Structure 1
Amino acid sequence: PQWPDDYMTPTMADEVFSILRRLGCHSVHIGGGEPLLKPDKILDVLKMAEKNNIDIEYIETNASWYRNEATTKTVLRELKDHGVHTLLISIDPYHNEYIPFWKVKALIKACSKVRMNVFPWLMEFWDDIDAMDDRKPHSLDEYALVYGEDYLAQLPNRYGLGLKGRALKTYKPMMGKQSFQRILEESRPCRLLAGVYHFHVDLYGNFIPQSCPGFAIPLKELQYGADSDKYRIFHSLESVGIAGFADLVIKEYGYKPKAEYAGRCDLCYDMRNYLVLELGLDLPDLKPEGHYKYV
């Protein structure tokens, strides 16, 4: 809720889709945020996808935008008219912390009535959530009270959750500790940062790595090979690993490491937070700043 009320512009969507098409990508899925909070904005993006011959595999939604069946069916029909035939609908306790389950059920019903396909993510949580009062959200603490204290610890594996950002903040107290020195000794290049098997492009046109939100390089630069001197933090992690990043931030920015961390990702986030939040630096590869400010 604290993030700026921004949305990908048609111009940016046109630029992103044209680059992706040129690089051999023929289809994408659209996520957020919540893409359907502003249906008129998503339609502009879909027009640009069509212009660049990019298919939409599905749009991710958490159903928060559902108000009533009539207006929802109108939106769904417009999406179909613009080439969208599947919605991925989030079904999990993490979203249920903020969104009552009745909205998820109602959206699925509306999709059925207009023949919009539903990709439920994940059905294995349906019974867990459906056992709660569907008229209101439920905290993770409530789930622990109903299903046992180990329920929260099991959720990341069941959901396939990467422990980064808010997830790291939630689960950090449950994670084992490693010494700073041990983390450096086990340092390996973070090759997933440059992986293109599954990545995202944000609303500002930045490449977001598969494994690590909070890092960004403009796609228009990356297509030609980004300047390693400009994106020094990204380069240090991708080429050397956490030890390379630590060496950089200690020597050049005065970071003082703690005795221990909840693994290398905790150390990485601590150093990034130090640079963005404590020093207030505007570094090109640590974007968007909101990822650090509003986690």
Structure 2
Amino acid sequence: MEIKYLQSGGLITNYYCTCSCRHCLYRCGPHWPKHYISATVASIAFETAIRLSCPSLHIGGGEPFLNFRALVDVLKVARSKGIQVEYIETNASWCIDEDRVKERLEKLLSLGVTTLLISISPFHLERVPLARTYTLLRACKNTGMGTFPWSQEFLNDFSRLDPRRCYTLEELEEIFGPGYIKSIPNRYWIHPGGRALELYFQEGFTLEQLLELFPYGCEELTNTSHFHMDLYGNYVPGLCSGLAIAVADLGHQLPQGKYPILNLLSKKGIKGLFEMACSMGFKAKRRSYGSKCLLCLEIRSFLVEKKGVFHELAPLEYYYQ
């Protein structure tokens, strides 16, 4: 397996977050270690992106604004390396004092940042009251910072709610009617990974059907149309959170000894991984799987807990959140 070039992606500055969104691909939340990407690791990531033909990246988390000084340092490194920052993702949880928010936005503008992707969804509303989202939107308008509300559609839903408080998914189901939670993936892109596998993608195929449907390698592992590199110097292949390739190994064939799981998935897919795991004592826990990703996560969790260290199963905290 080899990642030959990078198309479009981002840099994960931290995994700790004010939210524990029930759809979060990276299982971010307040219980993660309060680690933040260093200028050195960011520099290597930016240099790698340029080396592999990707001159621009977005910045995300976790919540990047939880360490604003470190975020500024990352942006300075990006500018020095010639990387264009497409946008910074934020959930607006930090937006309490509007004057303070505007100060931060003006600092970002001075560093060449022109757009914020503002996360707006039923999942974020469980931890972030709308008042903070509105504060950020006003501050952006008043400072000239561009916004990319993701997703604007939910703001229309939420206009009837009290902006001073949060709402659980169950409360939203009561307000908007039966099926509201189930309908969210039809309105808002949700990848089958992370916590989303606990809320969606639960039912659909028997184990036998799933293995028959996917007898080939996981081609998505080499897809770089929306990639991420993180604060630990890892590249996440194919949006498969909990799998990791050292950034230094990008652009080269991955050694079999260092990456046995990734090479197996690339060549033989979920069926190959399942057969390997069974030889090590794995037994499937479910009768039905809505996605091969659910089975893959179940197997990887087994390998992490029962069979020692596979360095490509990282960060380990992902498997315990």
TM-score of the superposition, structure 2-length normalised?
A: 0.87
Match in the other structure for 2:120: 91
Which of 101, 104, 115 pairs up with 2:130? 101
1:35 corresponds in structure 2 to: 64
- Helix, strand or coil: the match of 1:185? helix
Give the number of the structure with larger relative contact order, counting CA–CA contacts within 8 Å between residues 6 or more apart. 2
Identity across aligned pairs (percent)? 39
Equivalent residues of 1:177, 1:260 under 8 A apart: no
Deviation at 1:280, TM superposition (A): 6.2
In structure 1, the residue matched to 2:282 is: 255
From 125, 139, 153, the counterpart of 1:110: 139
Does residue 160 of structure 2 align to residue 131 of structure 1?
yes
Q: Tell me if 1:151 matches 2:180.
A: yes
| Alignment deviations for residues 200-240 of structure 1 (CA, whole Å, 9 cap, x no partner) | 11111211123311111111112222213321111211221
Instruction: Report 1:215-294 matches (<5 A).
Output: 215-251=243-279, 253-258=280-285, 260-263=287-290, 264-276=292-304, 278-279=305-306, 281-294=308-321
Whether the aligned pair in 2 keeps the contact of 1:156 and 1:162 (CA below 8 Å) is: no
- Tell me the matched-pair count: 290
The 3 A distance-change label for structure 1 pair 154 and 205 is same
SS at match of 1:159: coil
Other-structure match for 1:203 = 231
Partner of 2:47: 18
- For 1:179, the equivalent position in structure 2 comes to 206
Q: Distance in 1 between matches of 2:275 and 2:167?
A: 43
- State the Cα distance separating 1:259 from its structure 2 match: 5.7
Cα RMSD, aligned residues only: 1.4
Report the equivalent of 2:150.
Answer: 121
C-alpha distance in 2, partners of 1:93/1:257? Answer: 32
Q: Which has the higher helix share?
A: 1
Which residue identity lines up with residue 312 of structure 2 in the other structure?
D
What is the letter of the counterpart of residue 92 of structure 2? A
Moved more, 266-275 or 279-288: 279-288
CA deviation string 1:111-141 (max 9, x = no partner): 1111111111111111212222111111110
Deviation string 1:216-268 (CA, Å, 9 cap, x unpaired) is 111111222221332111121122111010111111x2112246232322211
User: Would you say the 8 A contact 1:92–1:125 is kept in 2?
Assistant: yes
CA gap 1:100/1:269 in 2 versus in 1, 3 angstroms = same
Q: For residue 281 of structure 1, what is the amino acid of its counterpart?
A: G
Find the aligned partners of 1:235 and 1:292 in 2 and give their Cα distance. 21
Corresponding residue for residue 86 of structure 2:
57
- The alpha-carbon distance between structure 1 residues 248 and 280, as it changes in their structure 2 partners (threshold 3 A), is closer
Per the normalisation by structure 1, the TM-score is: 0.94
Contact 1:196 / 1:210 at 8 angstroms: preserved in 2? yes
- Measure the CA separation in 1 of the matches of 2:116 and 2:97: 17
Question: 1:124-174 CA distances to partner (integer Å, 9 max, x unpaired)?
Answer: 1112122221111111101111112211111012111112111111225xx
Q: Any stretches of 5+ residues in structure 2 without a counterpart? A: 1-29
**Deviation sequence 1:32-79 (CA, Å, 0-9, x none):** 000111110101101111111000010000001112011111111111
Stretches (4+) displaced over 4 A: none
Give the partner amino acid of 2:277: V
Report the secondary structure of 1:38's partner residue. helix
For structure 1, list consecutive stretches of 5 or more residues without a partner in the other structure: none
Judge which range, 162-171 or 75-84, deviates more. 162-171
Q: 2: distance between equivalents of 1:17 and 1:6?
A: 19
